[in-house]
A and B are shown apart, each in its own frame.
Chain A
Amino acid sequence: MSDRGGDYSYTTEGPEVAGDRKSGFMGLPALGIADRFAALPLWAKVPIVLALVSFAFYLPFLTILPFAYVRTDLSSGGSDWGGVLFVVVIYMIVAIGLNVVIGLAGLLDLGYIGFYALGAYSVAIFGSPSSPVTKLIAEKFGLSEGWAVPFALCIPIALAIALISGVMLGAPTLRLRGDYLAIVTMGFGEIIRILSRNVDAVTNGPAGIIGVPRPPEPSENYFSSIESAHWYWLALAVLILLMFMTRRLEDSRVGRGWLAIREDEDAAAVMGVNAFKFKLWAFAIGAALGAIAGLLFASKQAYVEPTGFALNLSFLFVAMVVIGGSGNMVGVMLGAFLITYLPERFREFQDWRPFAFGVAMVLVMVLRPQGLVPSRRRAKEFEDRKHEAEEAAADV
């Protein structure tokens, strides 16, 4: 394959790679926290991550003053602290899923709630003994009263349904760009909600489905709805796993393909990126993450009904991504945290909520249009530079 020009290994007049500089990189101010963290050696990173994770798991029992002021149940009538933490984590999962679609691949999806609802309804329809579907199956095959698909099996079912519907929505619509895609996806979100309301034979209509199954429990009632701390831990563990997997994708051929599509789809295609395939993957992965979040939520609630999946939640999800910093996983998680936590913490000012939300939104957009933690991919590069400096040294 000589005409492919395989060998470019000699060095031309180009200057060598710049060495490590700890601060003031390229005339910009010193690196931010994330960059500094990424630059740390492994032995320093591991304990920091462990400490953060342990702290996150400890949060439900946080009583040391003054830190305990973050709790939402200090005054009477406050929200259940563990429950708030759980919802925060669920929405963080939603945010990193939606971030794959909006932040990385650049596809404005306004119907993300649809996938969340699909996850929730999948586990309810197949896992609850009182859903019309399991009843029908039990009757048809002469199974015992109260038969339902076990929780563990509901997970792959929910994932499969989400993936398939992600692909089904994506395949015809991903040729659309920008605004058109936004409108079509919004329609999808509404269709799912309307179906859940009206197809009584499957979803039990407006009455909803009770008896959504719980995950396998280490002791009796470990995952009952009121044990919100346990639910929080479960969701947190899932979140960490999903963060790890999404990060893997970001730092790969796939992630670069997504960014390239976001930046300039036509140029990406000419550079060999199969834009359609990668967009479809982004959609499917986003759908799967949304479904997992919905599944966990429904399982904790033990109950699903159509009004829980209104369209405005879709907009809230997008707001999390945009406020936090589209394209940055930590950023969108911060966005999810702020949007779910603050209203719970300051319930006293409930009447002011829409106003405060609007003002905050406008402020962020005016002051930090890139989001609170804008996507900068410099952390990774810091690593690269170290490698290459070493390589360059070895070359000589």
Chain B
Amino acid sequence: MSEQTLESGAHVAGSSGDALLVVDDVTLRFGGVVALNEVAFEIRRGEILGLIGPNGAGKTTCFNVMTGVYTPTSGEIRFDGDRVSGVKPHRINAMGIARTFQNIRLFPEMTAMENVMVGADARHKTSVMGTLFRLYRVKAKEHELPDNPLKRSLAKVFGISRHTLEERAGRQKSMEMLRFVGIADRAHELARNLPYGYQRRLEIARALATEPKLLCLDEPAAGFNPAEKADLMNLIRKIRDKGQTVLLIEHDMKLVMGVTDRLVVLEFGQKIAEGLPEEVARNPKVIAAYLGEPDDAAQA
């Protein structure tokens, strides 16, 4: 399997890295509807790949098969050499894929902070027994010791429970993520009460907190004004600069051109083009697909 991955990564000229995720002739049918038809492409380590196409092209469906929501009818998906298709969503997350949703799906009755902490929890281990009895102890490092002298000496002797350390680390990481996406000022509001733009960013923070290798963003800028969109694209670049790979679905062609390294174009569940943004923009099939989609401008 690793051989194949190498191979598919090898014939890519001037790539930023080897293939992180390979979509290998994936077909997905819903009854009579063929949502994806033998779609094949790859995402290379460290790039921002844009996935574009008119409404109903199958972009979101593509995310859904990648994150385990659906299992492909045929074909398979490999991530970092391991098979993804057929694996449970939470296992796929553990492998290193995180995503946001086109129609925002936060945990509305939890605060922004808690939403992100659920993401951070994905990297933690403490479960019911560990929380209840706290017998799993870790030797405390100097900076982890509490200030209170009594607690301090206790922690020195008995160590600190893994639960406590994980909670603390999770809280810190979540706060960092909220700051990173720029919504830390409303960290303690219920997600349902946050303004739309904050909710979109919160989804990104929550996904980032799971420490993904691959971050999939499903129209993260939908409904944003141009200034907000520019902001968001900066954010996406920053994420990439930190070493993560990004897969971006976006309707706004102009926007996508500016930020992505490569593009994959879907139409009616089929890949119709792939390549550098400039190439794709000149591709007659792509132009036709987008011209045949008159309300595209309105989508922006």
Q: Contact residues of A with B, CB < 8 Å?
A: 1-9, 11-18, 26, 245, 248-249, 252-254, 256-257, 259-260, 262-264, 266-275, 277, 281, 285, 375, 377-378, 381, 384-385, 387-388, 391
B56 at the interface (CB under 8 A from A): no
Q: Is B210 an interface residue (CB 8 A)?
A: yes
Contact flag A256-B90 (CB < 8 Å), given A3-B244, A14-B179 = no
Q: List the A residue with the shortest CB-CB distance to B188.
A: A381
Contacting pair A253 B126 (CB below 8 A)? yes
Chain B contacts of A272 at CB under 8 A? 90, 93-94, 98, 119, 121-123, 210
Nearest residue in A to B20 (C-beta to C-beta)? A3
| A3-B45, A253-B163, A257-B118 given; 6 more Cβ-contact pairs under 8 Å | A249-B131, A254-B128, A263-B109, A269-B93, A270-B93, A377-B114
Contact in complex: A253, B127 (CB < 8 Å): yes
- Whether A256 touches B118, Cβ cut-off 8 Å, given contacts A3-B45, A272-B90, A274-B90, is yes
Interface assignment of B3: CB less than 8 Å from any CB of chain A: no
Please determine whether B107 and A263 come into contact, CB atoms closer than 8 angstroms. Answer: yes
> How close is B22's CB to chain A, nearest CB, in angstroms?
16
Pairs A–B under 8 Å by Cβ, sample size 28: A3-B243, A4-B96, A11-B179, A14-B183, A14-B185, A15-B184, A17-B184, A17-B187, A18-B185, A248-B131, A249-B128, A252-B126, A252-B131, A253-B121, A256-B117, A259-B114, A262-B109, A263-B107, A268-B107, A269-B68, A270-B67, A270-B92, A271-B119, A271-B206, A272-B121, A375-B109, A381-B113, A388-B187
Interface string of B1-43 (1 = CB under 8 A from A): 0000000000000000000100000000000000000000000
B71 in contact (CB, < 8 A): no
Bound: A257/B115 CA distance, A? 10
Which B184-202 residues have C-beta < 8 A from chain A?
184-189, 193
A375 to B, closest residue via Cβ: B109
Q: Bound complex: CA of A42 vs CA of B46, how far in Å?
A: 48
Complexed CA–CA distance, A33 and B181 (Å): 34
Q: Cα distance A275–B131 when bound, in Å?
A: 17
Q: Does B111 belong to the interface (CB within 8 Å)?
A: yes
Tell me the nearest residue of chain B to A17, going by C-beta: B184
Please determine whether B126 and A8 come into contact, CB atoms closer than 8 angstroms: no
Contacts of A269 in B (CB 8 A): 68, 88-90, 93
B181 touches A14 (CB 8 A): yes
Are B184's CB and A14's CB within 8 A?
A: yes
**Residues A254 and B244 in contact, CB atoms below 8 Å apart:** no
How far, in angstroms, from A387 to B106 measured CA to CA in the complex?
A: 25
- Residues 214-251 of B, flagged 1 when their CB comes within 8 A of A and 0 if not, give 00000000000000000000000011001111000000
Shortest 6 CB-CB contacts between residues of A and residues of B: A272-B122, A263-B107, A272-B93, A14-B182, A269-B89, A252-B131
Are A12 and B182 interface neighbours, CB within 8 A? yes
The yes or no answer to B264 lying at the interface (CB within 8 A) is: no
Interchain CA distance A319-B184 in the complex, whole Å? 38
Contact of B118 among A17, A260, A378, A385 (CB under 8 A): A260
A254→B127 contact, CB < 8 A: yes
- Cross-chain contact of B189 among A26, A260, A267, A375 (Cβ < 8 A): A26
CB pair A8 B132 closer than 8 Å: no
B206 — which chain A residues lie within 8 A by C-beta?
271
Q: B124 contacts the other chain (Cβ, under 8 Å)? A: yes
Indicate which residue in B107, B124, B213 contacts A4 across the interface (CB closer than 8 Å).
Answer: B213
Q: Which of A277, A378, A381 has the most chain B CB within a 10 Å cutoff?
A: A381
In the complex, A11→B183 CA distance in Å?
A: 11
CA A9 to CA B180, docked complex, whole Å: 8
Tell whether B208 is near chain A: CB-to-CB under 8 Å. Answer: yes
Q: Specify the chain A residue showing the minimal Cβ separation from B231.
A: A13
Residue B77 is within 8 A (CB to CB) of chain A in the complex: no
Q: Nearest Cβ distance between residue A27 and chain B, in whole angstroms?
A: 10
Q: Which residue of A lies closest to B184 (CB)?
A: A14
- Which listed residue (B98, B128, B207) contacts A285, Cβ 8 A? B128
Q: Is the CB of A14 within 8 A of B175?
A: no
**Complex partner residue of A253 from B69, B98, B166, CB under 8 angstroms:** B166
Alpha-carbon separation in the docked complex, A6 to B131 (Å): 25
User: In the docked arrangement, what's the CA distance between A388 and B186, Å?
Assistant: 13
Note all chain B residues with C-beta closer than 8 A to A252. 126, 131, 163, 167
| Cα A253 to Cα B132 with chains together (Å) | 11
> Is residue B273 within 8 Å, beta carbon to beta carbon, of the partner chain?
no
Verify if B146 is at the interface (C-beta below 8 Å from A).
no
The listed residue (B107, B127, B244) touching A281 by CB distance below 8 A is B127
Residue among B68, B121, B123 making CB contact with A273, cutoff 8 Å: B121
Give the nearest-CB partner of A284 in chain B: B128
- Whether the pair A264, B132 counts as a contact (CB closer than 8 A) is no
Residues of B within 8 A of A15 (CB): 184-185
Q: Which of B68, B93, B94, B243 contacts A2 (CB 8 A)?
A: B243
Cβ contacts under 8 Å, A17 to chain B: 175, 184-185, 187
Q: Which residue of the partner chain A has the closest CB to B191? A: A263
Contacts of A388 in B (CB 8 A): 175, 187
Per the bound structure, the CA–CA distance linking A304 and B172 in Å amounts to: 52
In the assembled complex, how far is the CB of residue A156 from the closest CB belonging to chain B, in whole angstroms?
15
A1 to B177, CA, bound (A): 18
In the complex, what's the smallest C-beta–C-beta distance from B209 to chain A, in angstroms? 9
**B211 interface hit (Cβ, 8 Å):** yes
- Report chain B residues within 8 Å CB of A262: 109
The verdict on B105 contacting chain A, using a C-beta distance below 8 Å, is yes
List, in ascending order, chain B residues with CB within 8 A of A377's CB. Answer: 110-111, 114
The reply to whether B108 and A263 form a contact with Cβ atoms under 8 Å apart is yes
B121 lies within 8 A of A275 (CB): no
Q: Does B101 contact A (CB under 8 A)?
A: yes
Chain B contacts for A254, CB-based, 8 A: 126-128, 131
Question: For B295, what are the chain A residues with a Cβ–Cβ distance below 8 Å?
Answer: none
The smallest beta-carbon distance between B205 and chain A, in angstroms, is 10
**What is the CA–CA distance of A177 and B89 in the complex, to the nearest angstrom?**
18
